[in-house]
Amino acid sequence: MTRQYNVVAINGSPHEGFGNTSQMVAMLGEHLSREGFDLEEVFLSQHNIGYCTGCATCLEEGACWVRDDYKPVVRKVLEADAVILASPVFFFNVTAQMKTFLDRSLGYGHRPQRDWKPGLVVSVSAGYGETSVADYLSRVLRAFGAFSVGQFTAIAVSPGEFIGREAVEARAADLARDLVRAVKEGRRYPATDQDLRYWQFMSNLIKENRDFMVADVEHWQEMGLFKSFEAYVGQRRSHPTATPDIREAVARGHREQPQEEAGTAAPAAAGSRPGTPGNARELLEMMPQALNPKAAEGVTAIYQFEVSGSETFTAHLAIHDQQATFHEGPADHPNIIIRTPAEVWLAIARGELDGTTAFLGGQFRIQGDLGLLIKLKTLFVA
């Protein structure tokens, strides 16, 4: 039997069912239901949810004492497989209904659920404020243990009067698909600077106010959240891909760079001369003329290039007595072999791609003396 997933959309618009926010939620719902997801839309304006009194009981005792419709509504959010927060823009912000609901959720803001279930945000304005409201709602999602798979925004004044309705509908289809996939596959998105900022801020705040934020302290301790950012986001730091050898060689290369070139975005490898090479072969043929004799002082080396991709050839550059010469074919004893797609080498030479980044990212490979690769940057003037 396939599992039935349920999505809860909290709608802060007073235009229940016919407003633009509702129409956008419905667009998502259409796609979600095709995937067998149930979508429940909760209109905050139909519920009796009072203002937060700012008493901070929720931080001290762990729950709000006010008895109204808040609890049943927030329970739906916490129990859903995925959550949608939706609000039109009222005076550059969410509506009062949404803000009231969020203020009452302060305890969750302090004690994140950390389920990391997928969420979406929806916001529409008459033309000013929907993206910042979507950013705000995305940040709020994490209080309810959710992360944002995307922001569904649009511009519309009167109900149904969307600018670019087709684009709005297409976006709904894309986001619904992402949400479905994230739920079904238990996906996580990469942790963000906002997660880090939240964790740093909140852990400090709670520690500094531990005498009255008693419930918060217990929650953070029980969940091990104080330990590390990794513990909070539930994502481990992966092992570095660059070995210490490579890092050291790269650092050495930067240190050895002549002063006037330091700090420029000169590619780590290719050189150039006046005139633009049309392809990788031309580029290599032109490189001897771009040799910097001062940097080549005392250097005797053979650079072999094995070019693939749109051009396939092998050639080598011999450097000796402060001169470089281009030769077709492989060398007898190359000191370094650079295996690169033609496009990659050209992009580096044109400054469109950083040589170091390309190398560390595996876009080209070398065999032999890594130090010579690093030296290329200074040997040939850009």
Q: Which residues are near ligand FMN by CB under 6 A?
A: 13, 15, 19-21, 88-92, 124-129, 156-157, 159
Half-sphere exposure of 149 (CA within 13 A, CB side): 23
Spell out the SS3 assignment of 182-215.
Answer: HHHCCCCCCCCHHHHHHHHHHHHHHHHCCCCCHH
Query: For residues 132 and 308, which CB has a smaller minimum distance to ligand FMN in the complex?
Result: 132
Strands of 12-54 (E only): list them. Answer: 37-43
CB of 194 to ligand FMN, least distance (A): 23
Residue 221, Cβ neighbours under 10 Å: how many?
Answer: 12
Query: For residues 8 and 318, which CB has a smaller minimum distance to ligand FMN in the complex?
Result: 8
CB of 135 to ligand FMN, least distance (A): 15
Local structure of 110: helix, strand or coil? helix
Distance CA 133, CA 176 (A): 20
Which residue has its beta carbon closest to ligand FMN?
Answer: 19
CB of 133 to ligand FMN, least distance (A): 9
CB of 75 to ligand FMN, least distance (A): 25
Query: For residues 128 and 212, which CB has a smaller minimum distance to ligand FMN in the complex?
Result: 128
Query: For residues 125 and 203, which CB has a smaller minimum distance to ligand FMN in the complex?
Result: 125
The strand pairing partners of 85, in sequence order, are: 10, 121
Query: For residues 15 and 165, which CB has a smaller minimum distance to ligand FMN in the complex?
Result: 15
Whether residue 331 contacts residue 316, with contact meaning beta carbons closer than 8 Å, is answered with yes
The two three-digit tokens of residue 121, written as one number: 């945000």
Query: For residues 133 and 301, which CB has a smaller minimum distance to ligand FMN in the complex?
Result: 133
Would you give the distance in Å from CA 155 to the centre of its chain?
A: 25
Q: In sequence order, what are the residues at sequence separation of 6 or more whose Cβ sits closer than 8 angstroms to the Cβ of residue 353? A: 267, 344, 347, 363
Q: How many residues appear in the chain?
A: 382
CB of 6 to ligand FMN, least distance (A): 23
Query: For residues 157 and 262, which CB has a smaller minimum distance to ligand FMN in the complex?
Result: 157
Distance CA 46, CA 67 (A): 16
CB of 100 to ligand FMN, least distance (A): 15
CB of 161 to ligand FMN, least distance (A): 8
